[in-house]
Chains A and B, each alone.
Chain A
Amino acid sequence: MLRERQIMRIHYITGLAALFVVAVHILMRLIMPFHMSLQYSNVIANYHNMPYVILLESILVLLAIHGFNGLRIILLELRQNRKWENGVTISTIAAMIAIIAFGTRTIIIASGLGVV
């Protein structure tokens, strides 16, 4: 079981790293006119670009970890009893894993990596 200081260290590092990767993600939208960047063909092309796929996956993982830990912290402050605290911890970890799994699935399908 991780100690709270280790969890918070992960929280701060993922927050800072997310800030960086999201900034790169937004800047990459600007290499062409913004309305073009969201066109179907361009989005699919992005998903077929491996460095971009890695960028999207890291955004997903970093934001999921940081966001769900933030949610856990907020919920822990609402009520203080063992049942609630354990429930909040388990459900936020489960939701985090589910979001990462679903997002990764989407990235794999869109990038064509899953096609044999």
Chain B
Amino acid sequence: MSGIIKKISMLRTGSKLERSKKSLRARSSIVLRVYRANKAIGDSAHYDTFDVPIQRWTTVLDALLYAKSYKDTSIGIRYSCRMASCGSCGMKINGIPRLACYTNVSELESGVISCEPLTNFPLIRDLVTDFHQFFSHHKSVRPYIINQNADLRDRKELSEFIQSPREVDEYLQSSYCIKCGLCYSACPTVATDTKFPGPQALAQAYRYSADTRDTGSREDMKTIDDKHGIWRCHFAGSCSSVCPKGVDPALGIQLLRGHMMSFSKHNKKIAELKHHSHGNQTT
């Protein structure tokens, strides 16, 4: 039975891919609709459209940069690595928060591609949004290892933590976060509650509380255990579905909630610290 379902889903995926290839073969250009607004000069919000030639490998960022280079140099856009590592080029593409550098135009299966700034962020200009509040939420959960024993400022020896692969698996997925803000933009709670830390910050709180190298308790923190904290998550799951790095913030939030409620066991054994003196690799 599962084999048949697998075959059907493969056929579906194949036909979807075929359709996408066909539509691309037939299409040598797309219409790019770009949201434009610049409050600083009193420019009201509107959309500009650009015809952009495309290839099989053209990403939305490539298309935007083509428009910026050859059609209108004033388009405001933030980008850097072009390889889904820096998280700078997050925007709403055809209504869904995505990374422009990680979205191929062919996968959108549309002749018109609409680019808008991320929702739940204050707008600076065009496709550029202000991440100040997002990063302040991130900082508020102390996203770093807290361990007094590992404080090496006054020590001469080197130290390393001993962690088993299983212990690493507990938090590894959440450590792939690139802070692109897509989950924050997709979150329905952030849209209504500005004090809600958002899925990114809460997933990071889980990431460090699940890390055996960390001794700092984040579960008692005011930002997390507050009336605008972790309990306001509606578990819509949209954060997990838009994450370009495969992180599951919704799962992290639920696991942290479970620990806080004492519904699930959270017997974290703090990782053993192994000391080395300089130039000597043995303990």
Contact = CB atoms under 8 A, between A and B. Distances in A.
A9 B231 CA distance: 10
A57 interface: no
Contacts of A3: 225
B228 A76 contact: yes
Contact of B193 (A4, A12, A77): A77
Interface residues on B, range: 10 to 19
Nearest to A89: B227
Contact of B231 (A5, A78, A80, A85): A5
Interface in A1-48: 3-5, 8-9, 12
Contact of A4 (B192, B195, B226): B226
Contacts of A101: none
B261 A85 contact: no
Interface string A75-102: 0111010000100000000000000000
B232 interface: yes
**From A3, A5, A73, A85, residue with most partner B Cβ within 10 Å:** A5
B225 A80 contact: no
Given A4-B229, A8-B231, A85-B227, A80 B260 contact: no
29 contacts: A3-B225, A4-B225, A4-B226, A4-B227, A4-B229, A4-B231, A5-B225, A5-B231, A5-B260, A5-B261, A8-B231, A8-B261, A9-B261, A12-B261, A73-B231, A73-B232, A76-B193, A76-B227, A76-B232, A77-B189, A77-B192, A77-B193, A77-B232, A78-B192, A80-B193, A80-B194, A80-B195, A80-B228, A85-B227
Taking chain B's interface residues, is the majority helix, strand, or loop, or is none over half, making it mixed? loop
Interface of A: 3-5, 8-9, 12, 73, 76-78, 80, 85
Taking chain A's interface residues, is the majority helix, strand, or loop, or is none over half, making it mixed? helix
Given A4-B226, A5-B231, A77-B192, 15 more contacts: A4-B227, A4-B229, A4-B231, A5-B225, A8-B261, A73-B231, A73-B232, A76-B227, A76-B228, A76-B232, A77-B232, A80-B193, A80-B194, A80-B228, A85-B227
Interface string B204-236: 000000000000000000000111110110000
B221 to A, nearest CB: 11
A12 B261 CA distance: 10
B46 to A, nearest CB: 31
A5 B222 CA distance: 11
A9 B263 CA distance: 10
A84 B260 CA distance: 27
A71 B196 CA distance: 18
Nearest to B231: A8
Interface in B48-75: none
Contacts of B261: 5, 8-9, 12
Contacts of A8: 231, 261
B98 to A, nearest CB: 27
